[in-house]
Chains A and B, each alone.
Chain A
Amino acid sequence: QKEVEQNSGPLSVPEGAIASLNCTYSDRVSQSFFWYRQYSGKSPELIMSIYSNGDKEDGRFTAQLNKASQYVSLLIRDSQPSDSATYLCAVTLNSGGYQKVTFGTGTKLQVIP
Chain B
Amino acid sequence: DGGITQSPKYLFRKEGQNVTLSCEQNLNHDAMYWYRQDPGQGLRLIYYSQIVNDFQKGDIAEGYSVSREKKESFPLTVTSAQKNPTAFYLCASTGTGGTNYGYTFGSGTRLTVV
B105 touches A45 (CB 8 A): yes
B104 touches A32 (CB 8 A): no
Report the Cα distance A4→B103, complex, angstroms.
17
Contact A99-B100, Cβ < 8 Å, known A104-B42, A106-B42: yes
A34 touches B42 (CB 8 A): no
Residues of B within 8 A of A88 (CB): 42-43
A42 touches B41 (CB 8 A): no
Interface size class of B (residues with CB under 8 A): 10 to 19
Interface secondary structure of A, over-half rule: strand
Taking the complex as formed, is B56 at the interface, i.e. its CB lies under 8 A from any CB of chain A?
yes
Report the Cα distance A46→B104, complex, angstroms.
7
Taking the complex as formed, is A101 at the interface, i.e. its CB lies under 8 A from any CB of chain B?
yes
B108 touches which of A4, A43, A46, A90 (Cβ 8 Å): A43
A105 touches B42 (CB 8 A): yes
Interface residue tally for chain A (C-beta within 8 Å): 25
CB distance from B33 to the nearest CB of A (A): 8
A31 touches B40 (CB 8 A): no
Q: Tell me the A residues contacting B by CB distance below 8 Å.
A: 4, 8, 31-32, 34, 36, 42-46, 49, 51, 88, 90, 92, 98-106
B42 touches A43 (CB 8 A): no
**Per-residue interface assignment for chain B, residues 30 to 46, with 1 indicating a CB less than 8 Å from any chain A CB and 0 otherwise:** 00000000001111010
Q: Which of B56-109 contact A (CB under 8 A)?
A: 56, 90, 98-108
CB distance from B44 to the nearest CB of A (A): 8
